Structure formats: structure tokens, C-alpha cells
Structure 1
Amino acid sequence: MLIDTVAWVRIEDGRILCARPRGKGVFYIPGGKREGAETDLQTLVREIREELTVRIDPGTAAHAGTYEAGGPGLPDGALVRMACYTASYEGRLAPSSEIEEVAWFSYADRERVPPVDQLLFDDLNSRGELP
């Protein structure tokens, strides 16, 4: 079973934006699951608008990597695939009704995110983008 997701990589001042959904104890890179035949960019724009109330500028989107991992809380054999993109945005970042909290994490916070997000943290750290 493959869980197909798209995520927004937003780094400012050496920290990456993470969000914690309502009722969950874990932070994630903002984004979510594709609906129907949506493209990566359509999914990214929709999910970030729903979660953080800002508009992603699809013309500035750049693929930052795709990662796959299993993890706790997933069915046996399930993998999460996370296609990651950087992009500019318009508006003021604010958690929506489905997001309890947003936070800016450094590499030291790696253990606070799921395994697939940890792969992104490792990549960003190795490139010097997430100290």
C-alpha cells in the first residue's frame, strides 16, 4: 500500500515549517494526500491553502526531492511517498481549523517528525540548508 502525498518545504532562517494537525501529537511537513487525478502542484496549492491559509505560487514551485518510508501507525507494508516542493507564497501563514499548531524546526527537532519527514530533514541537513 502506497500513501501518495505532496509537501511544501518552507525554510526561513535555517528552520523548516512544520504543522501539527488537530488531535495528533506529531508534527509533519505541511501538505497532504492527492485527490483523484490532481497533479503534484494542484495538490500542493490546495493542501497548503486548506492547512495554512496562504496561496502557493505554482510558477515558483521547484521539486526538492521525493522520499518513501514506512513508520509507526501505518498498516504493515504501507509506505508513505512524499513529493516535496519549495515555492513562494502570498498571504499570512496561519493555522486553519484542521491545524492545531505550526512551528519552525531545526535539524535537532528531527525526532519530532515521522520517518518520511526525517529523510527530508537528513537531505536538507547534508546540503547545509537545515543546520
Structure 2
Amino acid sequence: MTLLPLQVAAIALIRDRTVLMVTARGREVHYMPGGKIDPGETAAQAAAREAHEEVSLTLDPSALEELFEVRTLAHGQEEGRMVHMRVFRARTDAVPVPSAEVGALHWVTTADADRC
């Protein structure tokens, strides 16, 4: 049986040549704020919703700029399950605040890529 790929969306908030990443409570792996796209939701709407849920940013989905899509094996899922992640650039001067599900915020550079 072929598993359908997970459809997810994420936010890339870039400032001063760094990008915002988060870690979940009790985890060390960095990831961009984001999550699964809900039924009836566009990828941009999902990215904006997840940004609000994870880092308290209020973003207009129509103002998000799609940067790229990643297609890879899904981490922590059934063997062979794929994830399709659409990444959107967010432009805001608002200060991100971690939610209860987020352990910490990290502004990272390419030197931190091994943590992602």
C-alpha cells in the first residue's frame, strides 16, 4: 500500500542573515515553525496558522511569499512515507514568542545547518 505524502507548510522568518528556527520541548532538532495543512486550508493559510500557534506571529496568508518546496522522507513516520513541505517567507517586525509546545527560539545561520 502506498502512503499519501504528508502535506505541510512552514514559515521562513529571515532577519540579519539569520532564519528563525524552533525546538520542541525536550528535543534538540531545530525546525522552521510549521505543520500539517488542514482540510480546506491553503498552504499559505496553514503556514500563517502554524506561525501563530507556535511563535505568536499574526501573518496575512496573502502576503506570504512561497520560497521553495521540499520533498523528502518523513521523520518519525511509517517507513517510506514522504513529506511535501512548502516554505513561505514571512515579512514582519513583530517579535516571535514561543508557545507552550515550543521549547525555544533560535536565530540560526548556515553554520548551524547540522542542527536542523
User: 2:14 corresponds to which letter in structure 1?
Assistant: I
For 1:82, which of 75, 81, 85 is the aligned residue? 85
Q: Which runs of 5+ in 1 are unaligned?
A: 114-131
Cα offset for 1:5? 0.7
Counterparts of 1:61 and 1:35 in 2: how far apart (Å)? 18
Q: Which runs of 5+ in 2 are unaligned?
A: none
Cα offset for 1:88? 2.2
Establish whether residue 97 from structure 1 lines up as the match of residue 107 from structure 2. Answer: no
For 2:65, which of 62, 66, 74 is the aligned residue? 62
Establish whether residue 50 from structure 1 lines up as the match of residue 53 from structure 2. Answer: yes
Q: Say how many residue pairs are matched.
A: 113
Counterparts of 1:50 and 1:86 in 2: how far apart (Å)? 17
Deviation string for 1:48-69 (max 9, x for gaps)?
1000011012232111010111
Q: TM-score, with normalisation over the residues of structure 1? A: 0.78
**Contact 1:57 1:90 survives alignment (8 Å):** no
Counterparts of 1:57 and 1:88 in 2: how far apart (Å)? 10
Identity of aligned residues (%): 29
User: 1:38 corresponds to which letter in structure 2?
Assistant: E
User: 1:27 corresponds to which letter in structure 2?
Assistant: H
* RMSD across aligned positions (CA): 1.6
